[in-house]
Amino acid sequence: MNLTELIIKGILILVLFGVTLLIAMYSTWAERKVAGFIQIRFGPNRAGPGGILQPLADAGKMFFKEDFIPSQANKWLFILGPCLAILTALMSSAVIPFGESIKYDDLVIPVQGIEINIGILYVFGVVSLGVYGLMVGGWASNNKFSLLGAIRAASQNISYEIGFGLSIIAILMMTGSLSIRAIVEQQHGFAWNLFNQPLGFIIFLTCAFAECNRTPFDLPECETELVGGYHTEYSSMKLGFYLFAEYINMFVSSAIISSLYFGGYNYPGMDWVRETLTGSLGAATGHNLATLIGTLVLFGKIFFFIFFFMWVRWTLPRFRYDQLMNLGWKTFIPLSILNVVVTGFGLLFDIKYATWAIVVVMVILALVSSARAPKPAVQPQRT
């Protein structure tokens, strides 16, 4: 690796890191804006035009609050908790391919933190480490509500990790690679995995909600039952880090969902765009510009999913804990195993859209069941 490559790679990593932080920062603003709009309000609109400076104001507030450590808490673990949470959240974006490649002289540098051939496994490993942040923080607080929140977070994440992992096995079977870049490259153009794996997508999406501790699965911080959950005792920027880690996780899981199921930086007509640009602007510039367009497309998809996360959050109420566990263990795990089996049959007999069979059967069953359900008796209007 020569110096130029090193510099370009370094700049690239710093830019990706900065963009991750920036998006997480503005997700807090966007969340409040979306919440406002969905509740027919305006959301924050005082700090700067449209409230655009609100994240800075929030960060300033967080920094100037008293940084309190309870006297009975385990001091070092108490500090370690939020550090772990934000560390693991930031680490997982390293393997996501944000674009094709940059051409400089005769160098070809992929737009990605690092390309490793077990990319998706790395993401899963880091995401499951994220539980430690919550567990350590909740345990070190020496507060029963924090501990309950931490236990909930741990059991929820572990339960949903199984469904999460099983749902992408179907994709791994189809692509034959663990590298996220390889998975994205196989979805070239408009051959997105979504069209082959509709059920897997829905399971993956729901599990991603659960992994990010977002509503409807935000049991770990359920205010009505647990005060503030695992971050009850936290204040100042330590609390800020926990909240920030949640938003970074949201960004990363949006990026992974769009890479795995929505084709990443692929979009219909990308070959034509590339040919036109390289034809008119020269090989290197045209290629870089085409890469940039692909990256923008990927970010468009990511923003859509971040919006979707918020949209769902402000629509659905929270699940009860037993409902959560039932959904994870009794619905998603069997369904994703079925999905794997059907995908296997599809690969064996070379049927491309085999998993649609599950969807069709489920829709038919649902229609039959609602048709056969006893009609509610017409209630006479009380006067």
Partner 1 sequence: MQLTNRSKEVSNKQMTLAEKMYLPAIAQGLAITIKHFFGKKVTVPYPEVKRYLGPVFRGHHILKRDEEGRERCTACGLCAVACPAEAISMVAAERKKGEENLYREEKYAAVYEINMLRCIFCGLCEEACPKQAVYLRHDKLVPIFTERDQVIYGKDELVEKMNDRYIRTNPDAQATPTEPSFSRSAT
Element (H, E) at 369: helix 356-372
Residue 370 found at the interface with partner 1 (CB under 8 A): yes
Residue 359 found at the interface with partner 1 (CB under 8 A): no
Site string for partner 1, 51-80 (x = CB under 8 A): ------------------------------
Residue 312 found at the interface with partner 1 (CB under 8 A): yes
* Smaller CB separation from partner 1, 154 or 212: 212
Maximum distance among all alpha carbons in the chain?
85
* Smaller CB separation from partner 1, 181 or 313: 313
In terms of Cβ atoms closer than 10 Å to its own Cβ (0-12, 13-18, 19+), residue 269 is exposed
Give the footprint of partner 1 on residues 196-235 (CB under 8 A).
Answer: 202
Question: How many CA atoms within 13 Å lie on the side-chain side of 64?
Answer: 6
Q: Candidates 57-65, 159-167, 217-225, 359-367 — which segment interacts with partner 1 by CB under 8 A? A: 359-367
The C-alpha atoms of residue 36 and residue 58 are separated, in whole angstroms, by: 17
How many C-beta neighbours within 10 Å does residue 15 have?
Answer: 12
List the one residue from 8, 45, 195, 225 that touches partner 1 (CB under 8 A).
45
- Name residues whose C-beta falls within 8 Å of residue 307's C-beta, 6 or more positions apart in sequence: 30, 34
Residue 383 found at the interface with partner 1 (CB under 8 A): yes
Q: Give min distance, CB of 319 to partner 1, in A.
A: 10
Distances (CA, A) of 99 to 15, 113, 225, 378, 381: 13, 11, 43, 58, 62
Kindly compute the dihedral angle of the four CA atoms of residues 349, 351, 355, 360, in this order, to the nearest 10 degrees: -110
Do residues 208 and 308 lie in contact, with contact meaning Cβ atoms separated by under 8 Å? no
Q: Give min distance, CB of 41 to partner 1, in A.
A: 5
Q: Give min distance, CB of 315 to partner 1, in A.
A: 5
Q: Candidates 76-84, 134-142, 292-300, 367-375 — which segment interacts with partner 1 by CB under 8 A? A: 367-375
Residue 357 found at the interface with partner 1 (CB under 8 A): no
Residue 40 found at the interface with partner 1 (CB under 8 A): yes
Residue 366 found at the interface with partner 1 (CB under 8 A): yes
Q: Give min distance, CB of 144 to partner 1, in A.
A: 32
Q: Candidates 88-96, 107-115, 148-156, 362-370 — which segment interacts with partner 1 by CB under 8 A? A: 362-370
- In the block, tokens 């509610």 appear at 376
Do residues 302 and 255 lie in contact, with contact meaning Cβ atoms separated by under 8 Å? yes
* Smaller CB separation from partner 1, 3 or 371: 371
Q: Give min distance, CB of 382 to partner 1, in A.
A: 6
Distances (CA, A) of 186 to 107, 167, 254, 355: 23, 18, 19, 18
Residue 360 found at the interface with partner 1 (CB under 8 A): no
List the one residue from 71, 72, 224, 369 that touches partner 1 (CB under 8 A).
369
Q: How far is CA 109 from the centre of its chain?
A: 26
In terms of Cβ atoms closer than 10 Å to its own Cβ (0-12, 13-18, 19+), residue 20 is buried
The C-alpha atoms of residue 53 and residue 61 are separated, in whole angstroms, by: 13
List the one residue from 13, 15, 42, 146 that touches partner 1 (CB under 8 A).
42
Which residues form the interface with partner 1 (CB under 8 A)? Answer: 34, 37-42, 45, 202, 311-312, 314-316, 362, 365-370, 372-374, 376, 379, 381-383
